[in-house]
Amino acid sequence: MRHLVLVLADGLRPDAITPSVMPSLDALGGVFTLALHARTVRPSATVAALASLATGVGPDAHRLIEPGLGFLPGLRNIRPVAQVLAAAGIPTDIVAGDLGAATLPVAWALSATAGVRRLTAKGSRARDTTAAAARLLEQREERLLFLYLPDCDRAGHAHGWMSPAYLEAAAEVDAAIGLLSPWTDAAVFIVTADHGGGGVYGNEHDLPQPINDHHGAVVVRSARTRQLRRAFPEGSIRPHTHGRAGARVMRWVTHCGGARVTIGIGVAVVALGDVRLGTAVLLANGGAHLIVQLLKRAVARARPADVSGRLLALVPLPDAHSFPSGHAAAATAVAATLALAHPMLAPAVLPLAGLVAYSRVALRVHHVSDVLAGVALGLGGAVAAWRLVR
């Protein structure tokens, strides 16, 4: 065991850890250890909770409950965990999201005083921050790595806990956690939070209330990691997959609606000399994709699941949102643009696009209405793009 990785998702409520919103973390909790009623300190504020996590004592002892350096004179009576580890030759590194020009110097001073070797503040979203942490994990060195992801807390304060924007932030954190799966054989992972939120007021967490005080925690021990990784692909941990007749064919078909194939067709047409048609294909695909992504975040519809909330998908999910289908939109946009330019291709390309759309339902990734909406967006993108370049 070379690493202990402590991931803190600021402001993550336990009721956000569901198969539809956070499939990676939900799957890890199902295989390893999941606690949905962990309780934070009082006051339930990030500064107080992080100080307790760093020192092992409560706010009444460390007295750090507000941002600033006023607690430093009392630090001589407290031994932060990083100092204890440093004395034993084990460094502590912190990777956090962008902290801002005003916060970064204070965070650096607190970290250095506590015995932290390195503080890296990088990334405006969880996946970018986690990518920086992953680069440290590639180094063969025993360490404590603390990964701080502020996405949920920022969305909660700005839009309210459990709002669509908050759930989108939770899905982003979950995608970031999925990126860490290649290292679960060489590390112990603890994924936790510092507080909940929205218990009294929708965008605050300070007042005493169970929803504010409770948070989730998952402990991943490497002894069972190989079993998990045989079931779930790297970077896309997902629960409840099982086989079905024709699934292998449908998996092959569904990839025809992916970015590599659909963008590759447009580039290939340009390379073959038909710049106008290739441009139309790329515009149709790109326009449909843009609208799909906007609608996914606005609607935030859950993926198909059974009555217990377990996902039914037979292939890895690109994100937590179901409506509309991006694969159906892309395949239809490309096929319809080719058919408009060369009607003799329609009998070949349109049925293939239809098969791609059908595969998204057959593989239990989308609801039927998701696919129909994707097809409509693809058709609209094709007509608009062809008229634009014709």
Residue 240 clears pLDDT 50, i.e. is over it: no
206-222 per-position pLDDT tens digit: 777 777 666 667 776 65
Q: Which domains does the chain have, with CATH numbers?
A: 3-231 (3.40.720.10), 247-389 (1.20.144.10)
The dihedrals phi and psi of 24, each to the nearest 5 degrees, come to -65, -50
Sequence letter at residue 280: A
The DSSP bridge pattern shows strands 214-220 and 33-39 to be: antiparallel
Q: Are 92 and 143 in contact (CB under 8 A)?
A: yes
Residue 286 clears pLDDT 60, i.e. is over it: yes
329-382 per-position pLDDT tens digit: 999 999 999 999 999 999 999 999 999 999 998 888 888 999 999 999 999 999
The string over 73-84, giving b where at least 16 C-beta atoms fall within 10 Å of a residue's C-beta and e elsewhere, is: eebeebebbbbe
Alpha-carbon span 349 to 273, nearest angstrom: 20
User: How many percent of the chain have pLDDT more than 90?
Assistant: 34
Sequence letter at residue 319: D
**Can you name the residues that pair with 202 across neighbouring β-strands?**
none
- Preceding amide of 182 cis, omega within 30: no
**Can you name the residues that pair with 8 across neighbouring β-strands?**
148, 192
40-61 per-position pLDDT tens digit: 777 767 777 777 777 777 777 7
Q: What was the pLDDT predicted at 229?
A: 42
99-152 per-position pLDDT tens digit: 877 777 777 877 887 888 989 898 889 999 999 998 888 887 888 899 999 999
Closest CA to 18 of 233, 302, 219: 302
64-94 per-position pLDDT tens digit: 766 655 555 555 667 888 888 888 888 999 9
Q: Are 282 and 263 in contact (CB under 8 A)?
A: yes
Q: What was the pLDDT predicted at 46?
A: 72
